[in-house]
Structure 1
Amino acid sequence: MSKQKECGAAPVILKYLNDQNRPYSAQDVFGNLQREHGFGKTAAVKALEQLTQDGKIKEKVYGKQKIYFTDQSQFAAVGEADLKTLDIQLSGLSEKFQNVQQSCRQMEAELKELNNAMTTEEMSLEIAALKQECASHQERLKKIKSATNHVAPEDKDKVYNERKLFVKEWRKRKRMAADLTDAVLEGYPKSRKQFFEEIGIETDEDHMVTVPDL
């Protein structure tokens, strides 16, 4: 670190401590200022020690750590009324900060929603695709309406009623077969599967068939 940078660190640090008016360690001062001003920790420590010797700042030792803060004698005394005024100002600024923070959160939420929404180009493509799909469905509907081989309502009802009748009969016969099989198996020494294999019975399950719902 050059002597020029070491000398230049002192006024920067003094102004920072006066502006902030709160205690800092040498590490805090270095960490808060080094990126903007480019001096190293050694320069910060030397500048703090020199400012302390010159009486421009104060120093307190806590164990192995030193804390530096600005000389409070340079500031005018603050009375009770001034403190109350500052409290009122602080309360107002805190409320304003909370309102601004809430507005920021709302705007961030709106921005996120807008970022997730489709762009104008994407919406145009989506509308074009939907129009094409709609035209296709309209053409299909037109062909259906113009067809002459429609199924009459009474024919459709007849088919549904016959299906219902056949399903009921299917269920009835399946249940009767199960009852008869259970009765035979009461005195049969082998398993149900072996019994079916011996007499050649094939079940719906063997062919992965399920009785449909009514």
Structure 2
Amino acid sequence: MASEAVLKYLMDTNRPYSCADVTVNLRGAYTKNAIQKALDALSESGKIKCKLYGKQKVYAALQLENLEENTDTEDYDTKISRVTNILNEKKGELKKSEAYLKNLLSAPTNDMTKTQIEDIKISTDKLEKKLNYLRSTTEVISAGEKKTLLGEHEKSLKEYRKRKRISSEMLEAVLEGCPKSKKSFIEELCLETDEMVNFKLKTV
């Protein structure tokens, strides 16, 4: 009978098919009308499951271990919705990670920072030696030279204070959204403050 052949086919393949699919796959052993009647009868008896997708009916066999319970599995639309939500969450996480990575790549590397620090130390040592020499020397300089030196010193002092203020503001802005303390954050970035290296401005 058509019902037995259709049920066996669905059980063996364990895949969902439409009436047209079953008719073609049974190679014309039964007419399309006979196949449709068999599918409807099997569906009503609970031996197979019928799902409606738009205007098309799709049938799938219930395997032996599920015949007693005959409970509906989770709807495919629900699965798709759940997976889509998970995908959107992962996309959001990926976007944040990419932004964080971009910031890291744009920041100077440890080697670059160490080189800059060494250059600044060398420059500072030279300037301190020159300043100590100028303080200890008895050589008299002209009023014009003294004015120029004082002007350069004042200019450097203003630039130092400006950069220190900007650095402090940047650090405070970052710490607003950071759960870490200021001390631990500075240690993690391997930063050195004036207080940490006992740097003090020398007035002239």
Q: TM-score, structure 2 length as denominator?
A: 0.31
Higher Cα Rg, which structure: 1
Greater share of helix: 1
